[in-house]
Structures are given as C-alpha cells and as structure tokens.
Chain A
C-alpha cells in the first residue's frame, strides 16, 4: 500500500472518528435540538394518549393536536408508608393541571389503628382536610394549613407521567434529550415554586415514562428528592378514553419507600375535580407572607 493511500485511509478514519465522537458526545450530554425534543415529547405524549386532534367539527385550516389531560383520579390499593411504617391502604389521588392541584386521600390500617389522611395542594397553598372540601363551609370539617409541604406535594403532581410531558414542554429549550443504556432520557428543570428542581425521566421502547427522578439544587431539600417507577400502562378507565395510566406505581422519597400501589380504577375523562382554597388557608398564607 502506498504511503499516499495509507495516509488517505488514516484521514478517512480520522474524519469518521471525529464525527462519531462528536455524535456520541452530543447524545451523552443530551441535545436540546427542538426537532428531536419535539419528536420525543410527542411520542411520549402520544403513548399516554395525552394528545388529540382538536377540531370538533371541521375547522379550516385543521387544528393541531392538543394536550387533553386536565383532571384525573387514580384509585389504587397497596402499601403506603406513613411515617415510615408500611400500611395496607387505599390510595386515591385526584389531580388537576389547570390550576396545578392535587388531593391525596389515604385510608388504611397501621398498627391496628385506622388511618385516614387527606393532603391537598393547590399552587402555593397546602392544607390537610378532615373530610373532602373541609373548611369551605363554616362548621363542615377542618382545613389545617400545611404550607411547608406545598412544594413537596406539588412535585408529586409533576412527576406523574402527564406532568412530566407538560413540564418538559413548558421548559422549552432547557429540556434535553439523551440516551442512557439504550433508553431515551428527558431532563428538564421545573419552574415557578419548584424552580431549582431538575427532573429526569426515562422512556421505555413504547415511549412510556417508566422512571422519574427529581434532584433539587439544594441538597438539603430532601423532601424534594423523589424517585417514581411506573409500569403496566393501560386504559384503566370505566369510561374509556384511550388515555393510558400506570397500573403499578412505586414512589420513594429521599431514598425511603413512600408507596407501592396498584391501580384499581382510573377516571381520565377530565372528571369534575375542584380544589377551592379554604378561607382560613388563604388567611394563613397571607399572614405568613406579611410576617416575613
């Protein structure tokens, strides 16, 4: 082989290697390329049944696909860890994305004692209810402000698969797509009250979100360190909607188990779920704000 040809071969290999290295590096670091981002997020949203054609009646020009998940309720049974202790419980999460709100109702038996908690959050307000809707009408139940839990509770909403898709889209060019061990990984920062928290979500081959991990900038904020695993996706609704929800949910908080439940019923037809803030909770927040 002549020197000239050897040099040519070497150069060709160098060119190919350069391109390959650059490509691999880009994938490992993650890309914010909007085309790739759009394709991955659209695939994730589509797998969940989260987007639908929006022209009821025939619009001209035809309307785009729109995110249709606004409210949902997931009823499940399994193990819920209350103060670190495993409890057989029914777990019902009712949630909404406009405005961001969630009510988690847990009924169980722990150490022979009946346990019933209702933890609610709506945007910056968090409170515990003695019964659903407590504190809205004088004399009907008690709403106890729990403002310190607002961020942690809100985060539970945004680590749900639908929340991941919504928040990743909202993060715009701050969302990056990468691959790890053959899986697609979406990474993005949250904003608003949850600014400083980074979410990392892993997709399976069918584009379902199977794992979500949150990492706060402030390592001391352990109540914002969630790890969730989702599996057994299906349309679990009595009213079929084609919206897919995880049949099995496992969550950890700061590395400790939080819940391991299997869905018994899901209402994904944007059911009537409302989260009005009780007057005393509003007052408590206003007071806390003025005393800062």
Chain B
C-alpha cells in the first residue's frame, strides 16, 4: 500500500515537473530591445539671435543615417520594437519579428544564410507608405523599379536631386539664407556631391515657366514656428524622389520640406505634390539625423561617382 502511494506521488511529480518545464519554456528570454529607432533627442536646441532654432552643424550621414550607415529599414517605414515585434510606421500595423539565430551577428553578409540573403531589396520595400500614382502610371513605376539597376538615375552618376537627397550632411544658417551640402556617397549609391543655396529673405518663387529645370529646383525657405520650411519647384525630370521604388516625377513637381531641430536631432519630412502623375500628394516617413558630437567636425571630401557599364548588367536583383 505504501508502495502504491509512493507510485501515485511519483506520477503526480512527473506531471508537475512536465508542467513546470513548459511554464519555464513559456518565459521568453529577456529581450535586449534591439531597435532601429532614432535616438531620443538630448541637450537643448540652440537659437540664433533672431530667436529661430539654429540648424547649423554637421549632421551624421546623408540625412538617412544615424551612425554613419543608412538606417534604411526605418527609411522604408519600418521600426523594430524588440526581438519579437516591429511595426509599419505609417499605419501602426504590427510586423512579425523573430530573434536572430545565435552567432550570426554580421548584418546581411553571406554567413547569415538564406535569411540574410537578398534582404536589402526586400527590406527597403516593406513599408506601406508609398506614393499613389495615377493608374496609367502604375506599370511604369513598376517597370522602373524592376529595372532599377539600369534605370535608377543614381546609377548613372546623376545627382540625387530633391527630395531624394533628404537631410543635408552640413547646414550653414545665415540670417537671410541657408547653405546645404550633400557630399557624394560613392560606392553603390553613387550620387554626386550636391549643394543648395536657399534664400530666406521673404522673396517669392520665380514663375515656373521662367525656370530651367534643375536637380534641386528653386528652393525658398521660411519659418513656420520652430520648423524650417523649404518650398521648391522648377525641377528637371532626371531624378527619382526616393531611394527606391522607381518614383519618377514630372517637371511640375512641387516639394515642401520641413526641418525640425530638437536638441541634437534633426527631423525631416517632405511632401511631394505632382498632379501630373500623382493621384494625391505624398508625404515621406520622417527621417532623423543626429548632430555630430564634435563641435569642430568638418565635412570629409565627397567620394567620386564611379560610372559603370550598365550594358553589362545581367541581373535585375537589387543591391
């Protein structure tokens, strides 16, 4: 009888231990909260004698960079919350995430296996915030994007243009004008060095018909509270208005860029109006740059663009 009781206790113990093991497995490992979110602003926002925020400084990366490398996932409109969750910035829709395999810690290099292969192209197109073209242009946008290796103007060493260049790497703020510098990136994203001198003296736009189309258009700045607004038109049609996607535009494109400094961060958005090709205006996902911590920081020389023989392109895979 004693033995029987012992066995019953043993059976109960086995069940108890099994349940305990499952409960223990329930507990997910403590998340390290990896995220691509922009850092929270720190420090105060300096102001010029006229009371406006001072945007002067060297801003890390080419407007789409936080630490010297492009934050392309966020640029595409996706924020990683933690190891198990990400979300689409424009809609808030949850996007599934899984902890990465142990030991594979080197970005998208081949050692990561299939889950690291061909990731860049897909990831840059995950976000839902896409411009809505008129239906007759849907196929053309897709054709340009599918054939981006040959069709992307930046692959022909064209300047990125506005608004694709996004946040300038250097801003000099004067009472009546701004000077923006966008150094050439070289490498795969082979854009040329570009600069803009943008008046902020209250002048009006030149009539569109009198402007020769250019890569940066005619930009005119004004303040909307603490936000700098740069209103531009007079573009040529040799640029796309985002890094990927085949987002072409007409010469009637009108852009409204908004720069907002908070502490050591600069947030940029652009609204693109182009009634010739777009069904409705499109506003970009906000991008954030961080001020270079070195107050004496200087811009490095822009890298030259290496023109390539696009006739030798044998794949449509995107970089």
Contacts and interface: CB of A to CB of B under 8 A. Distances in A.
Nearest to A129: B135
B107 A64 contact: no
A281 interface: no
B88 to A, nearest CB: 5
B61 to A, nearest CB: 10
| Size category of the binding interface on chain A | 35 or more
Given A38-B98, A66-B86, 4 more contacts: A19-B15, A52-B117, A66-B78, A98-B95
Contacts of B114: 46, 49, 242
Contacts of B11: 11, 14-15, 18-19
B96 interface: yes
B142 interface: yes
Contact of B14 (A19, A54, A267): A19
B28 interface: yes
A15 B8 CA distance: 8
19 contacts: A7-B4, A8-B7, A54-B73, A56-B70, A56-B119, A62-B34, A64-B83, A64-B100, A66-B78, A66-B80, A66-B126, A70-B125, A98-B88, A133-B134, A134-B135, A239-B318, A241-B122, A243-B122, A272-B245
A243 B315 CA distance: 17
Specify which of A12, A242, A267, A272 lies most central, judged by the most chain B CB atoms within 10 Å of its CB.
Answer: A272
Contacts of A8: 3, 7
Interface of A: 4, 7-8, 10-12, 14-15, 18-19, 22-23, 33-35, 38, 42, 45-46, 49, 51-59, 61-71, 96-99, 131-134, 136-137, 140, 165-166, 169-170, 238-243, 267, 269-272, 274, 276
B293 interface: no
Contacts of B117: 52, 242
A269 B115 contact: no
Given A42-B98, A98-B128, A269-B318, A242 B118 contact: yes
A239 B135 contact: no
A97 to B, nearest CB: 8
Contacts of B94: 170
B73 A239 contact: no
B96 A45 contact: yes
A53 B97 contact: no
B7 A11 contact: yes
B206 to A, nearest CB: 31
A2 to B, nearest CB: 11
Contact of B112 (A53, A67, A166): A53
B6 A98 contact: no
B185 interface: no
A50 to B, nearest CB: 8
Given A66-B123, A271-B145, A53 B107 contact: yes
B118 A56 contact: no
Nearest to A22: B15
A98 B93 contact: yes
Contacts of B116: 52-53
A83 to B, nearest CB: 28
A241 B123 CA distance: 11
Contacts of A269: 121-122, 125, 146, 318
A137 B132 CA distance: 13
A131 B139 CA distance: 13
Contacts of B112: 53
A67 to B, nearest CB: 4
Interface in B34-48: 34-36
Interface in B117-176: 117-128, 130, 132-136, 138, 141-142, 145-146
Nearest to B246: A272
Contacts of A272: 130, 138, 141-142, 145, 245-246
Given A33-B22, A58-B69, A271-B145, A67 B95 contact: yes
